[in-house]
């Protein structure tokens, strides 16, 4: 990223997705947040200064249809997409986190993640309720199939895990999420411009990032000589 911008966390005009930041912030999944996500995401795709699109997630979840659309944008992007969970990535939030480019999916050490089946309710005539249940079942299969693919697992693996939890909310720590394949690193990167070459146990320092950039440009940093 060619320049650094300061995010106004807590400012009255703070929205679910902030378009002017160097990252895209997601904490809701609905029609409004999807529209904001689309605008911010496509803008960053067109911005040559953004080599990696960064999506930061802190969410309890939301509408599955909005999640699916955001995931489609990420998967169809010509640019790598880094995802970072801060604090919480539950339901749709966990699925969006897993959808990032492999090698660029992060969660802070104390982040709590949660996976569960699609939930909802239907009212009306019996035929309408049956139809709604069928649609929900198909949507649930698609959601779990996408999650399994993003984790490098089979659909059966995910179903067995949920079954072992008796189909209740499946809560994971960041470390457990990494073991599952939902994320790649338990860390908070401060500057993402490329694929990590090794496991990140601690956030990279600016000195380390400077060395990485010099190496990328084929240059070496001159060592100070002692007099």
- pLDDT digit string, tens, across residues 125-150: 555 555 555 666 677 788 889 999 99
Which is the catalytic residue, given 91, 132, 185, 191? 91
Q: Average pLDDT of 42-66?
A: 92
Domain boundaries, the chain: 24-116+169-216
Q: Which of the following is catalytic: 16, 33, 59, 116?
A: 116
Q: Which residue has the higher pLDDT, 122 or 31?
A: 31
108 catalytic residue (yes or no): no
Superfamily grouping for domain 24-116+169-216? 2-enoyl-CoA Hydratase; Chain A, domain 1 (3.90.226.10)
- Residue 127 CA to residue 57 CA, distance in Å, equals 38
pLDDT score of 118? 61
- Check if 3 is active-site: no
- Region of 181 on the Ramachandran plot (φ > 0 left; ψ -120 to 50 alpha; else beta): left
Which tens digit of pLDDT belongs to each residue from 55-77? 999 999 999 999 999 999 999 99
E-assigned strands of the chain?
A: 24-26, 53-59, 81-90, 105-107, 112-115, 170-173, 185-186
Average pLDDT over residues 70-99: 96
């Amino acid at each position: 990223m060619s320049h650094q911008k300061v995010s106004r966390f807590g400012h009255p005009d703070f929205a679910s997705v902030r378009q002017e930041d160097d990252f895209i912030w997601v904490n809701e999944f609905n029609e409004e947040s999807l529209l904001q996500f689309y605008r911010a995401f496509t803008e960053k795709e067109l911005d040559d200064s953004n080599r990696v699109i960064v999506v930061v997630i802190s969410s309890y979840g939301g509408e599955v249809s909005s999640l699916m659309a955001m995931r489609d944008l990420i998967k169809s992007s010509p640019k790598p997409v880094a995802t970072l969970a801060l604090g919480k990535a539950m339901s749709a939030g966990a699925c969006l986190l897993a959808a990032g480019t492999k090698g660029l999916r992060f969660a802070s050490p104390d982040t709590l993640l949660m996976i569960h089946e699609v939930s909802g309710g239907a009212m009306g005539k019996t035929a309408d309720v049956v139809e709604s249940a069928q649609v929900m079942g198909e949507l649930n299969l698609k959601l779990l199939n996408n999650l399994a693919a993003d984790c490098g697992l089979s659909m059966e693996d995910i179903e067995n895990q949920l079954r072992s939890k008796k189909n209740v909310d499946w809560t994971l720590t960041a470390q457990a999420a990494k073991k599952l394949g939902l994320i790649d690193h338990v860390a908070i990167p401060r500057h993402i411009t490329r694929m990590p070459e090794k496991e990140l146990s601690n956030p990279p320092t600016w000195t380390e990032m400077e060395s990485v950039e010099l190496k990328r440009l084929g240059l070496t940093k001159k060592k100070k000589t002692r007099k």
